Chain A
Amino acid sequence: MSVLFVLIGFSLLISLSFLIAFLWANKKGQFDDTYTPAVRMLFDDIKDEKENKK
């Protein structure tokens, strides 16, 4: 059963990495703007449009 100690330690470490990932993303401003990216990704690429016309 002593392997459980190791496994629990690992599980804690993995979950800790998620916490750190979240804190990092928050600090980098990933959650600052929750609206514009959703709109931006739907825009067509303007270069393609130009080529099509030519």
Chain B
Amino acid sequence: MSATKTTNKIICVHCGEDCPNRSIAIDEIYFCCNGCKFVYELLNENNLGSYYKIEDKPGIKVSDKLYDNHFAYLDNDKIKEKLLDFSDEKVSKLTLVIPQIHCSSCIWLLEHLQKLHSGILSSRVHFLKKEVSITFEHEKLSLRDLIELLTSIGYEPQISLDDYEIKVKSKKGSSLIVRIAVAGFCFANIMLFSFPEYLSSDGSLSDNFVQFFGYLNVLLAIPVFFFSASVYFKSAYFGLKQKVINMDVPISLGILMLFMRSMYEVTTSTGVGYFDSFTGLVFFLLIGKLFQEKTYDSLSFDSDYKSYFPISIIKLIKESEEIVPITDLKQGDRILVRNNELIPADARLLSSHASIDYSFVTGESDPIEKSVNDKIYAGGKQIGGIIKLEVLKNVSQSYITQLWNDANFTPPSEKSLSNMANRFSKYFTFAVVSIAFGAALVWMFIDPSKAIFVGTSVLIIACPCALALSTPITLGATQRILGRNKLFFKESATIEKLASVTHILFDKTGTLTKAKTSSIEYIGDALTNDEKALIHSLVRHSTHPLSVKLNKHLEHHQIFSVDKFDETAGKGISGIINNREIKIGSSRFCGHDSQNDESKIMQSQVHISIGHKYYGYFKIAVQYRDNLENLAFDLGKKYKLSILSGDNDSELSKLHTLFPEATSYHFSATPKDKLLHVKNLQESGECVLMFGDGLNDAGALKQSDIGIAVTESMSSFSPASDGILAGEKFAEMSRFIKFSNSAISIILVSFIISILYNVVGLGFAIMGLLSPLFAAVLMPISSLTVVGFAIITTNIVARRLRI
């Protein structure tokens, strides 16, 4: 269990990050920070050292210490009540979402929480959902203590207003499984009972048995018809009500015909019916449905502003502080916002000074300075000291939240039902019905007694089982392959829609650029390692984003203690180390008058002066994602591209080198501008695919035909969207789109195959030769061919595109 040493790097035993030096250690074990060391000690004291044996470096870097009363709102009874699943005099139960759960060590530790505190009775992890259910005695351990305990070991639960308002446990998938189980059970048994009849084609089976089997089949078919198949009837009914002939209409027609005809044959003893085909059909169709309903448990596609906002806020009543749920906040209330807390509503600043980071809203991370009486929009984060605010608007009517409530913004509730199969089914249904009537009419003249038999036979054999299966199977397989590549679609139907995209929009910050890393370059007099160490020692005391970036850039240098540290907001930081005065900040702050006007400088510059001597500056520029130009070139060949950014146009010349000439640019766009831009494009007949990341893109993402949220870590929040893409896979997007488009061709070929089967079947039906055995063989064969074809070709295409 010793620290892993590479050439000259030491890796933290707890979290696996590089250690800056060897100052934090227990014996021969090194840590990157005191947080990690604390967790290690805590676990070892409580005999939980196995945490480090199950997986290598399993820990989560403990984030900076939060305010002591960060979780104070958990003492509020109203909030407590909503969060707890169950509570009596002694015991409480609750389920928490912990996005950090990632390995078996996590499971092990979280299931042994009772070792850390005797108040915890039991805990159970649901790994795929990243949830942990905890039972605890609330007299020994309050809810707040529990959450603080979890946070202290690195597993901070995700508690958001969303969970607070409604706690829904979806049971969507399970009812489908029950339907499949019933259909499968009845199908298998009916097959068994139908076999004797098929094998004794010469009629040697005694009538008693024929009748007995017949009635057993009726008995088994009834639950399939009324329970399992009811989803198709409902869907067909709703479709017809909206004057849409969807795929479920011909399916329902076929199912209905199969069932009625079979019932008639058995009850009148004129035949054995098609119960095996009927139940088999329903069984296969439902399995296709299950395949399509691939869901990603741990991802949330519907989070809106509520997920970003805190649950509670400190309200000032006269001069006393009280913690209230954010939903109780009213206009005119005075609130306190601390360092790194989100401002929940549009407000007026009462304190003299504030520095607001709007990165959630605009994606731009440089804080904006505000002074007394300035209006501050919701969604910003306070950086620095505590500020006092007066609420101007209710939470739901703020600048950023109104996007969701705006009358202008009405997301189409059902994003167009007309997928390919449904468009096709209109013609298909008309064709089948007219063939059935035509054949029946012809047989009226040949042999009137057989007319109805032929008409129903046509409807039965034409039931588009294989046709209906091809779409869900192909799209489901495509969705799974893309999911393996970290492009997660909410529904498989989105893949079909990708094929009709004509216009692609990109957000800039956080989507085209990397959110966390930036390129840092030093220009000026060369710095010695000693001087770099001085800079590092100073910047690590500042929370300014540029300082944070610089700190990360210089993290391998030594750390000295700083005297007289001072931060002048908007200007820079200064301090004295080893009797040398160091100033870091704007050029004027460092006593250097630059010739060019600072406001026009494209990148951020951090100037350095040591001991009253000006040295030079660090140029911190945003870093674009790798291979961006290849992606832009590939996509530009087929689609119209636009860049829609909330920032100013300072990066324009750089973007020109990355994107094709035809790209259009829109800068300084507000969230609403973005939304309207998408709307305008749609009105001019474009089908819009949008990539975005921040809350500022949320409206536009929802309005676009397909909105894909780009995110650095799968566990963090992403705005409501149709898909979530891992940032590192962004450059491969053109291949993903190609792959999705090929899925559409695969579906088309599957259509043709299943139509060929139908033509053969129809031939027999029209000639009046359709027998139950023939139907029972043809239907599964056609379905299996189509399913096999769809899955195999999808995988071959994926391999060929190296996905």
Contact = CB atoms under 8 A, between A and B. Distances in A.
Interface of A: 1, 4-5, 8, 12, 15-16, 18-19, 22-23, 26-27, 31-36, 39-40, 42-44, 46, 49-50, 53
A39 B104 contact: yes
Interface string B102-115: 00100110011001
Contacts of A19: 181-182, 185
Interface stretch (B120-128, B426-434, B488-496, B760-768): B120-128
Interface of A is mostly: helix
B50 interface: yes
B216 A33 contact: no
A33 B128 contact: yes
Given A26-B181, A46-B115, A49-B47, A39 B216 contact: no
Given A15-B185, A19-B181, A40-B111, A35 B50 contact: no
A26 B188 CA distance: 20
Contacts of A42: 104
Contact of B128 (A35, A40, A46): A35
A48 to B, nearest CB: 11
Contact of B127 (A1, A15, A33): A33
Nearest to B219: A12
A7 to B, nearest CB: 12
B127 A43 contact: no
Contacts of A34: 128
Nearest to A2: B208
B189 interface: yes
B127 A35 contact: yes
A12 B47 contact: no
B189 A12 contact: yes
19 contacts: A8-B193, A8-B212, A12-B189, A19-B181, A33-B127, A33-B128, A33-B129, A35-B128, A36-B125, A36-B128, A39-B107, A40-B107, A42-B104, A43-B50, A43-B108, A43-B111, A44-B50, A46-B48, A46-B50
B107 A36 contact: yes
Given A26-B178, A43-B54, 18 more contacts: A1-B206, A4-B209, A8-B212, A16-B185, A19-B182, A23-B178, A26-B177, A33-B126, A33-B127, A33-B128, A35-B128, A36-B124, A36-B125, A40-B107, A40-B111, A43-B50, A43-B108, A53-B47
A4 B212 CA distance: 11
Nearest to B128: A35
Contacts of B115: 46
Contacts of B182: 19
A39 B127 contact: yes
A26 B174 contact: yes
Contacts of B181: 19, 22-23, 26
B47 A50 contact: yes
A49 B127 contact: no
Nearest to A29: B174
Contact of B126 (A4, A12, A27, A32): A32
Most buried by B among A4, A16, A22, A50: A22
Contacts of A5: 212
A36 to B, nearest CB: 4
B498 to A, nearest CB: 30
A22 to B, nearest CB: 6
A39 B115 CA distance: 19
Contacts of B127: 33, 35-36, 39
Contacts of B193: 8
Contacts of A39: 104, 107, 127
A23 to B, nearest CB: 6
Contacts of A35: 127-128
A39 B101 CA distance: 13
Contacts of A50: 47
A50 B112 CA distance: 14
Nearest to A19: B185
A43 to B, nearest CB: 6
A43 B462 CA distance: 55
- Across the A-B interface, the 6 shortest Cβ-Cβ residue pairs: A36-B127, A19-B185, A39-B104, A35-B127, A33-B126, A35-B128
A26 to B, nearest CB: 6
Interface in B163-193: 174, 177-178, 181-182, 185, 188-189, 193
Contacts of A36: 107, 124-128
B425 to A, nearest CB: 32
A52 to B, nearest CB: 11
Contacts of B104: 39, 42
A23 B402 CA distance: 45
A40 to B, nearest CB: 7
A34 B181 CA distance: 18
A31 B104 CA distance: 19
A15 B216 CA distance: 14
A15 B189 contact: yes
A12 B178 contact: no
Central interface residue in B54, B104, B112, B124, by most chain A CB within 10 Å: B104
Contacts of B128: 33-36
A41 to B, nearest CB: 11
B175 to A, nearest CB: 10
Nearest to B101: A36
A18 B181 CA distance: 10
B469 to A, nearest CB: 24
Contacts of B189: 12, 15
A5 B281 CA distance: 28
A9 to B, nearest CB: 9
Contact of A12 (B124, B174, B177, B216): B216
Given A35-B128, A40-B111, A46 B185 contact: no
A22 B107 CA distance: 28
Interface in B66-117: 104, 107-108, 111-112, 115
Interface string B43-72: 000011010001000000000000000000
Nearest to B54: A43
A48 B209 CA distance: 63
B214 to A, nearest CB: 13
Contacts of B107: 36, 39-40
Given A23-B181, A32-B126, A36-B126, A46 B216 contact: no
A39 B58 CA distance: 15
Nearest to B126: A33
A27 B181 CA distance: 12
Contacts of B47: 46, 49-50, 53
A26 B178 CA distance: 8
B129 to A, nearest CB: 8
A39 B128 CA distance: 12
Highest count of chain A CB atoms <10 Å: which of B48, B115, B181, B182: B181
A44 to B, nearest CB: 7
